[in-house]
Structure 1
């Protein structure tokens, strides 16, 4: 009988953040990641923990060794804040490096991993990158890296962030960037452990980015993404309509969306590559 990997998913949101997503019809980050991992490797098992919640138990030391891979979700927290919801997550990232547990993640993952390994993150001087990150371009190191096997050298991806990695730590390799954010992907080797992390969100689809936009309509409108809330709702509705009917070429053209984000084989390539290249060869049978 085939052995299947066991994953630990770290949902980086606080309880109030998860509740806000649920109120807007979005899937919680932990569940979204769990669904993605099960899609990329059917038969795997997934546990989810919530280290931003006071009192939530964090598996450390020997407990981490029960897993074959660790996956970090996004988060609405700020990694450089002195916040009791953040410091346990940095400690967990350091423990994962020390346990040599293969790790992957989106957005928050890159920032947590960089800080845990000695790098620096800060607020982006350009503000929020939201919706679709355009023209993410692999570096020469990225083109040669197994994370990007089968991925185009230039692509778009779902995204939502205001902070960015500004100084990479020793042992980090820049894999991708774009005009908005210089660090769109990074591979970190620290204390013998590895983290492959992307600033964008392969776990999102059109429905999830629509719901996330809906949850933040007031903020995004004030930030100038939309002329008014009516325009914002229209954008959300168009995303949902294209999700329901991917053959709507008119909507895809209007929204500037192509197979980089609608084709799961392309969108999830990094996740499958991580599982195949880092998790399966290092499974603890």
Structure 2
């Protein structure tokens, strides 16, 4: 099969998305008007596939015990962010995900993710994650005004408003989707697609 052969929905790039948030964490996100992490990842990966069809299964390991999906059915595993920490080594929600990551390593399936993924990947590979002596990183906003919020909402409605972005100090890393999705595009192009093609050759 060639990359052109992946262009049919029958040969879609198959992703397993591991959404590590607990039900309470997901509820907190939705109550705040924020999309849950797995939905954000679906959108990001679909966009980053540059026209290739994609399909997704979502696993919520913090919800309770689960049977590990057959990793042969996937071309990649994507780990979302999460409000847990691997430093809580006695937390079953953490140990479940560490075990899954070890199985992904053993299988050789490409993996992708952000902050939580980095913690899980390091510990599952035998490394050590240490506590930040300055405490957890938190995004804080102070002295927000109604005018600022109104401008952010205008920019959300019309991302082409560079004049507003400039006033708010936002550059192309935030505004330009092509720049923002560079890592996920590279992941799909250089790891996921070759992995899928190599699996096809072995079948």
Q: Relative CO higher for 1 or 2, CA cutoff 8 Å, sep ≥ 6? A: 2
Name the TM-score class by shorter chain.
0.7 to 0.9
| TM-score normalised by the chain length of structure 1 | 0.60
Q: Report if the CA contact (8 A) 1:8-1:67 is conserved.
A: yes
Residue in 2 that maps onto 1:33:
41
> Aligned equivalents of 1:108 and 1:251: distance in 2?
32
CA displacement 1:24-51 (0-9 Å, x = unmatched): 1111101110111111224111111001
Name the CA shift for 1:124/1:237 in 2 (closer, same or farther; >3 Å): farther
Which of 226, 243, 265 is the equivalent residue of 2:142?
226
- 3-state SS, counterpart of residue 122 of structure 1: coil
Distance 1:12 1:234 in 2: 35
Instruction: Please name the residue that 1:53 is paired with.
Output: 63
Matched residues, number: 187
- Is residue 87–residue 131 contact of structure 2 (8 Å, CA) maintained in 1? no
| Largest Rg, 1 or 2 | 2
Does the alignment pair 1:259 with 2:175?
no
The residue number in structure 1 matching 2:85 is: 78
What runs of 5+ residues in structure 1 fail to find an aligned partner? 132-219
**Residue 11 of structure 1 aligns with which residue?**
19
Shift of 1:127: 3.9
Contact 1:51/1:85 (<8 A) preserved: yes
Distance in 2 (CA, whole Å) between partners of 1:235 and 1:75 is 28
Once the two structures are overlaid, the 10-residue window that deviates more, 251-260 or 104-113, is 251-260
The correspondence for 2:126, drawn from 118, 125, 137, is 118
> CA RMSD, aligned part only?
2.1
Q: 2:182 aligns with which of 257, 269, 277?
A: 269
Is the partner of 1:87 in helix, strand or coil? helix
TM-score scaled by length of structure 2: 0.83
